[in-house]
Amino acid sequence: MPKKFLKKFMPDHDAIRNHKHLKMFGRLLHSPNLFHLNRRSVAGAFANGLFNAFIPVPFQMVLAAAGSIIFKVNLPLSIALVWITNPITMPPIFYGSYKVGAWLMGTETGDFDFDLSYEWLMNGLSAIWQPFLLGCFVCGVIASMTGYMLIRAYWRLHVIKAWRKRKRKRSI
Protein backbone atom coordinates (compact mmCIF):
# COMPACT_ATOMS: atom_id res chain seq x y z
CA MET A 1 0.00 0.00 0.00
CA PRO A 2 1.34 3.50 -0.77
CA LYS A 3 0.58 4.53 2.80
CA LYS A 4 2.99 1.97 4.27
CA PHE A 5 5.67 2.89 1.74
CA LEU A 6 5.38 6.61 2.47
CA LYS A 7 5.36 6.14 6.25
CA LYS A 8 8.90 4.72 6.06
CA PHE A 9 10.22 8.04 4.80
CA MET A 10 8.11 10.41 6.89
CA PRO A 11 9.92 12.45 9.55
CA ASP A 12 8.83 12.49 13.16
CA HIS A 13 6.01 14.95 13.97
CA ASP A 14 8.06 16.50 16.77
CA ALA A 15 11.00 17.08 14.44
CA ILE A 16 8.79 19.12 12.15
CA ARG A 17 7.10 21.02 14.97
CA ASN A 18 10.47 21.94 16.43
CA HIS A 19 12.16 22.82 13.12
CA LYS A 20 13.73 26.27 13.41
CA HIS A 21 12.29 27.61 10.14
CA LEU A 22 8.79 26.26 10.73
CA LYS A 23 8.37 27.54 14.29
CA MET A 24 6.76 30.69 12.89
CA PHE A 25 3.62 28.65 12.28
CA GLY A 26 3.36 27.88 16.00
CA ARG A 27 0.29 25.90 17.06
CA LEU A 28 -0.90 25.54 13.47
CA LEU A 29 1.60 22.68 13.10
CA HIS A 30 -0.18 20.70 15.82
CA SER A 31 -3.12 19.82 13.57
CA PRO A 32 -3.16 16.06 12.99
CA ASN A 33 -4.51 16.65 9.47
CA LEU A 34 -1.04 17.81 8.41
CA PHE A 35 0.38 14.34 8.99
CA HIS A 36 -2.38 12.07 7.65
CA LEU A 37 -1.55 9.78 4.78
CA ASN A 38 -4.68 9.33 2.71
CA ARG A 39 -5.49 9.82 -0.95
CA ARG A 40 -6.70 13.40 -0.56
CA SER A 41 -3.86 14.48 1.70
CA VAL A 42 -1.07 12.95 -0.37
CA ALA A 43 -2.47 14.14 -3.70
CA GLY A 44 -2.92 17.63 -2.27
CA ALA A 45 0.63 17.57 -0.93
CA PHE A 46 1.92 16.68 -4.40
CA ALA A 47 -0.06 19.53 -5.92
CA ASN A 48 1.13 21.99 -3.29
CA GLY A 49 4.76 20.88 -3.35
CA LEU A 50 5.05 20.77 -7.13
CA PHE A 51 3.47 24.18 -7.54
CA ASN A 52 5.80 25.73 -4.96
CA ALA A 53 8.80 24.06 -6.56
CA PHE A 54 8.31 26.33 -9.58
CA ILE A 55 8.18 29.54 -7.56
CA PRO A 56 11.60 31.19 -8.06
CA VAL A 57 12.23 32.30 -4.48
CA PRO A 58 14.74 31.03 -1.93
CA PHE A 59 12.13 30.15 0.72
CA GLN A 60 10.03 27.62 -1.18
CA MET A 61 9.83 25.28 1.82
CA VAL A 62 8.14 27.95 3.94
CA LEU A 63 5.63 28.62 1.14
CA ALA A 64 4.95 24.88 0.87
CA ALA A 65 4.43 24.66 4.64
CA ALA A 66 2.01 27.60 4.54
CA GLY A 67 0.13 25.98 1.65
CA SER A 68 -0.07 22.71 3.57
CA ILE A 69 -1.56 24.47 6.55
CA ILE A 70 -4.07 26.41 4.45
CA PHE A 71 -5.19 23.42 2.36
CA LYS A 72 -4.79 20.86 5.20
CA VAL A 73 -2.62 18.47 3.19
CA ASN A 74 0.39 16.41 4.21
CA LEU A 75 3.09 18.79 5.40
CA PRO A 76 6.23 16.61 5.14
CA LEU A 77 5.47 15.57 1.56
CA SER A 78 4.76 19.15 0.49
CA ILE A 79 8.05 20.33 1.92
CA ALA A 80 10.01 17.43 0.44
CA LEU A 81 8.58 17.94 -3.04
CA VAL A 82 9.87 21.50 -3.38
CA TRP A 83 13.35 19.99 -3.49
CA ILE A 84 12.65 18.92 -7.06
CA THR A 85 14.15 22.31 -7.82
CA ASN A 86 17.48 21.99 -6.09
CA PRO A 87 20.76 23.69 -7.05
CA ILE A 88 21.44 20.99 -9.66
CA THR A 89 18.02 20.88 -11.31
CA MET A 90 17.11 24.55 -10.92
CA PRO A 91 18.91 25.91 -14.03
CA PRO A 92 17.30 23.54 -16.56
CA ILE A 93 13.86 23.74 -14.92
CA PHE A 94 13.84 27.53 -14.76
CA TYR A 95 15.31 27.86 -18.26
CA GLY A 96 12.54 25.58 -19.53
CA SER A 97 10.00 27.71 -17.67
CA TYR A 98 11.45 30.82 -19.29
CA LYS A 99 11.15 29.18 -22.74
CA VAL A 100 7.51 28.26 -22.04
CA GLY A 101 6.74 31.80 -20.91
CA ALA A 102 8.45 33.31 -23.93
CA TRP A 103 6.53 30.95 -26.22
CA LEU A 104 3.22 31.88 -24.56
CA MET A 105 3.98 35.59 -24.83
CA GLY A 106 5.17 35.22 -28.41
CA THR A 107 8.55 36.80 -27.67
CA GLU A 108 11.96 35.76 -28.86
CA THR A 109 14.16 33.91 -26.42
CA GLY A 110 17.20 36.08 -26.70
CA ASP A 111 20.68 34.92 -25.87
CA PHE A 112 21.71 36.08 -22.47
CA ASP A 113 24.69 35.32 -20.31
CA PHE A 114 23.84 34.34 -16.79
CA ASP A 115 26.16 35.69 -14.14
CA LEU A 116 25.39 35.11 -10.48
CA SER A 117 25.91 38.67 -9.38
CA TYR A 118 23.87 41.57 -8.08
CA GLU A 119 24.52 43.54 -11.26
CA TRP A 120 23.10 40.76 -13.47
CA LEU A 121 20.05 40.40 -11.23
CA MET A 122 19.32 44.12 -11.59
CA ASN A 123 20.06 44.44 -15.33
CA GLY A 124 19.88 41.00 -16.96
CA LEU A 125 16.79 39.78 -15.18
CA SER A 126 14.85 42.92 -16.06
CA ALA A 127 14.81 41.83 -19.71
CA ILE A 128 13.39 38.37 -19.08
CA TRP A 129 11.31 38.60 -15.90
CA GLN A 130 7.87 38.63 -17.56
CA PRO A 131 8.23 35.46 -19.65
CA PHE A 132 10.18 33.85 -16.83
CA LEU A 133 7.49 34.40 -14.20
CA LEU A 134 4.68 33.51 -16.61
CA GLY A 135 6.49 30.28 -17.52
CA CYS A 136 7.11 29.45 -13.87
CA PHE A 137 3.42 29.96 -13.09
CA VAL A 138 2.19 27.92 -16.05
CA CYS A 139 4.67 25.09 -15.47
CA GLY A 140 3.82 25.11 -11.76
CA VAL A 141 0.11 24.83 -12.47
CA ILE A 142 0.62 22.05 -15.01
CA ALA A 143 2.98 20.10 -12.72
CA SER A 144 0.62 20.61 -9.81
CA MET A 145 -2.46 19.39 -11.67
CA THR A 146 -0.60 16.48 -13.23
CA GLY A 147 0.86 15.37 -9.90
CA TYR A 148 -2.53 15.63 -8.20
CA MET A 149 -4.32 13.58 -10.85
CA LEU A 150 -1.59 10.94 -11.11
CA ILE A 151 -1.44 10.38 -7.35
CA ARG A 152 -5.24 10.18 -7.09
CA ALA A 153 -5.36 7.68 -9.97
CA TYR A 154 -2.43 5.62 -8.66
CA TRP A 155 -3.91 5.47 -5.16
CA ARG A 156 -7.32 4.47 -6.50
CA LEU A 157 -5.84 1.74 -8.69
CA HIS A 158 -3.85 0.43 -5.76
CA VAL A 159 -6.98 0.24 -3.60
CA ILE A 160 -8.90 -1.56 -6.35
CA LYS A 161 -6.05 -4.03 -6.71
CA ALA A 162 -6.03 -4.67 -2.95
CA TRP A 163 -9.81 -5.21 -2.94
CA ARG A 164 -9.56 -7.72 -5.76
CA LYS A 165 -6.73 -9.52 -3.99
CA ARG A 166 -8.81 -9.78 -0.79
CA LYS A 167 -11.81 -10.95 -2.78
CA ARG A 168 -9.72 -13.71 -4.42
CA LYS A 169 -8.41 -14.83 -1.02
CA ARG A 170 -11.95 -15.06 0.39
CA SER A 171 -13.21 -17.09 -2.56
CA ILE A 172 -10.48 -19.72 -2.24
In Å, what is the CA distance from 41 to each residue of 20, 34, 84?
A: 24, 8, 19
Residue-averaged pLDDT of the chain: 84
Give the pLDDT mean for 76-93. 90
Lowest mean pLDDT among 73-82, 111-120, 161-170: 111-120
Q: Between 101 and 123, name the one with better pLDDT.
A: 101
Cβ neighbourhood burial of 143 (10 Å; 0-12, 13-18, 19+): buried
111-165 residue pLDDT tens: 666 665 677 667 767 778 888 899 999 999 999 999 999 999 999 999 999 899 9
